[in-house]
Amino acid sequence: QVQLVESGGGLVQPGGSLRLSCVVSGITFNRYAMSWYRQAPGKEREFVAVISSAGGYANYADSVKARFTISRDNAKNTVYLQMNSLKPDDTAVYYCKAASHVGAIDGYWGQGTQVTVSS
């Protein structure tokens, strides 16, 4: 069974930082592109970042570009999202997704981790 388990969420003040992790099992991790998405209450789930299977390519939503960094450690079957300069608008449940390649519309999802940015 494929499992993606996010962690690292929590409450942080505006301007603060968090590092999310997603540990993946049940797939050959280094064959999958990994993405982060987020969903705020009452809003659609939106793309945040993606990284290719070997880590050589990454892309970000404009809203997080220059503030967030996606990375992966294929030896640990883990993808990370370093979030800096956090804003209240970053408040959302953050989800990890595994897909067969960058741009794939199908894939596997984690259950999410809550990030709250508030004073």
Determine the residue type at 57. Y
| Distance, CA of 67 to CA of 12 (rounded, Å) | 15
pLDDT at 112: 98
Report the 10 Å Cβ neighbour count for 79: 31
Instruction: Indicate the pLDDT class of residue 105, thresholds 50, 70 and 90.
Output: confident
pLDDT in tens, 24-43: 999 999 999 999 999 999 99
pLDDT at 71: 98
Scan for tokens 């956090």, then name that residue: 86
pLDDT in tens, 49-99: 999 999 999 999 999 999 999 999 999 999 999 999 999 999 999 999 999
Residues with Cβ within 8 Å of residue 42, at least 6 apart in sequence? none
